[in-house]
Structure 1
Amino acid sequence: MIEELMPLLPVSQAALWTGFVVFMRIGGLMAVLPAFGDQPVPMRVRLLLTVMFTIVVAPSVAGKIGPIPTSVLQSAAIFLPEAMIGLFFGIFLRFFILALQIAGSIAAQSTSLSQIFGGSTGVDPQPAIGHVLVVAGTALAALSGLHVQAAAYMIHSYNMVPVGMALSPETVSMIGVGEVSRAFGLGFTLAAPFLIASLIYNVVLGVINRAMPQLMVSFVGAPAITAGGLVLLLLTAPIILAVWMTAFERFMYLPFEAWP
């Protein structure tokens, strides 16, 4: 019986090698993937999810993975870059969560709500508006098929950076600067209604103070801008999340439009 199973040994070795290589890249990506890689998710669950994604992605990229190396050094020379590549691709998905945090911080600062801190999915506390947007955006992405989009994104990463190819510093710097700029631009765009409302509020408050110097406009205006900020959040949150989700899905479908 052992002799009959011997022909299957090379096949099993090739399958295990493919799984290990894919696991390294997906493991780096899963460390920062929104929803699946958040800190509240237990480590065992994240490990299981990484294995599941590996099982899904490996058959699609098996033909792009070379033969089994003959030495440990050659294996390490493949594993370490693959983990870094996965982290590279995952960070830019995390930037979309950063955009929601930036929008929440700008909105809270503009509406005098920055002192109200809520829970946080990260290490540092953030304003309650930012926490609401992050939780809502993460839930919306998960309900919209994030697992399918993430699997397609992982497969597409092998077309952009094949196995065995390292990222050049020029590519990292060019793509990194562009994506950081897009994250801050998206965050500012999402917070635009609060900035406009804050500008109008301060102009009106200045006019009232000019007309009635004896009136303590700051005491009158503080409750108004706080209540107005909450009402504005109620009205604009669906639009903000729709704009964010459109940008996120577009990136997942066609990442790095300026890829060299």
Structure 2
Amino acid sequence: MELLSLNEALTGQIYAFMVIFSRVGTAFMLLPGFGDAYVSSRIRLLLALAITVVVQPILMPMLPPVPAGALGMTVLIVKESFIGVFLGTVTRLLTAALDTAGTLISMQIGLSNAFMFNPALASQGTLVGAYMGYIGVVLLFVTDLDHLLILAVVGSYEVFVPGAALPMGDFAEMTTKMVGQSFAIGAQMAAPFLAVGIMFNLAVGLLQKMMPQFQAFAVIMGGQVALGLALFAIVISATMLFWLRTVQDTLMGLLG
């Protein structure tokens, strides 16, 4: 009898670990800062394993009974992994706003052709976008917003109950909303540069109209870059604080 109870306990512990790790581990592959390309996959795996072990005793009562067969277990793990992908994607869209803002800023200050590798997106991006991406990740950890990322993953068990039917309609609606919000955040962050860029191009256009023989756009290009970089140095602090507040409000909304 004691041996049977021990086997049941071990089976329950292994089952709970597999189910919880399916969601937590998948989410950590995509979370900003944790899931970036420059972070070793071993570190991400060890961190996901450690968090799974810590939260397992708390989350075990929320888990459904052990499925009767392998098919039921596979379906449950796939569902949990899908929820982890959804959580990671939603939070990743918040950092995509930085690349959007950087692209818009680069277009306005004349650096749209300056590219470098953006580790947050694991692809080529504008120089300003990659720089803002670096700052964003550093600020996430300096201001302890990385704790909110972890809490959002753990708190998702109260919203998305393990074993329940996946609310695909809500997933699609939330993803669509976050894509639009990501672009809106990026546009708001680049708003000062859009306003200055419009006025600058208008002034240069009027100068070119009055002096057709003067190649205004070619001559003033250096001044455009200098003015843009000066404006960037002035507003970058307020811009990143605005982004941090947006990230915090969004994560708090996910926590309910």
What residue number does 2:253 align with? Answer: 254
What residue number does 2:65 align with? Answer: 67
**Per-residue deviation at 1:250?**
1.0
**Per-residue deviation at 1:55?**
2.0
List, as ranges, runs of 4+ consecutive aligned residues in structure 1 with deviation greater than 4 Å.
Answer: 3-6
Q: Deviations over 1:207-250 (max 9, x none)?
A: 22233333221122211111111111111111111000001011
What residue number does 1:127 align with? Answer: 126
**Per-residue deviation at 1:256?**
8.4
Alignment of 1:131-142 (within 5 A): 131-142=130-141
Q: Distance in 1 between the 2:80 and 2:156 partners?
A: 11
SS at match of 1:118: strand
What letter matches 1:154 in structure 2?
V
**Per-residue deviation at 1:128?**
0.7
Structure 1 residue corresponding to 2:12, chosen from 11, 14, 24? 14
Unaligned runs of 5+ in 2: none
Structure 2 residue corresponding to 1:30, chosen from 23, 28, 31? 28
Q: Does 1:179 align with 2:178?
A: yes
Alignment of 1:26-175 (within 5 A): 26-121=24-119, 122-175=121-174
Unaligned runs of 5+ in 1: none
SS at match of 2:123: coil
Q: Distance in 2 between the 1:168 and 1:116 partners?
A: 42
TM-score, structure 2 as length reference? 0.93
**Per-residue deviation at 1:4?**
6.2
TM-score, structure 1 as length reference? 0.92
**Per-residue deviation at 1:6?**
5.6
Conserved? CA contact 2:36–2:122, under 8 Å? no
Q: Distance in 1 between the 2:228 and 2:3 partners?
A: 70
Q: Distance in 2 between the 1:144 and 1:191 partners?
A: 23
What letter matches 1:24 in structure 2?
S
Instruction: Name the stretch that deviates more: 187-196 or 165-174.
Output: 165-174
Number of matched residues?
255
Q: Does 1:210 align with 2:219?
A: no
Q: Distance in 2 between the 1:243 and 1:4 partners?
A: 59
Instruction: Name the stretch that deviates more: 10-19 or 200-209.
Output: 10-19
Q: Deviations over 1:164-219 (max 9, x none)?
A: 12323321221121111111111111111111110110111122223333322112
Conserved? CA contact 2:156–2:255, under 8 Å? no
Instruction: Name the stretch that deviates more: 118-127 or 183-192.
Output: 118-127
What residue number does 1:199 align with? Answer: 198
Q: Distance in 1 between the 2:255 and 2:52 partners?
A: 23
Conserved? CA contact 1:105–1:130, under 8 Å? yes
**Per-residue deviation at 1:8?**
3.5
What letter matches 1:44 in structure 2?
R
Instruction: Name the stretch that deviates more: 87-96 or 61-70.
Output: 61-70
Q: Distance in 1 between the 2:52 and 2:234 partners?
A: 41
Q: Distance in 1 between the 2:85 and 2:7 partners?
A: 32
Conserved? CA contact 2:23–2:80, under 8 Å? yes
Q: Distance in 1 between the 2:3 and 2:142 partners?
A: 44
**Per-residue deviation at 1:5?**
6.3
> C-alpha root-mean-square deviation of aligned residues, in Å?
1.8
What letter matches 1:81 in structure 2?
K
- What is the percent sequence identity of the aligned residues? 26
What residue number does 1:227 align with? Answer: 226
SS at match of 2:250: helix
Q: Distance in 1 between the 2:240 and 2:58 partners?
A: 32
**Per-residue deviation at 1:144?**
1.7
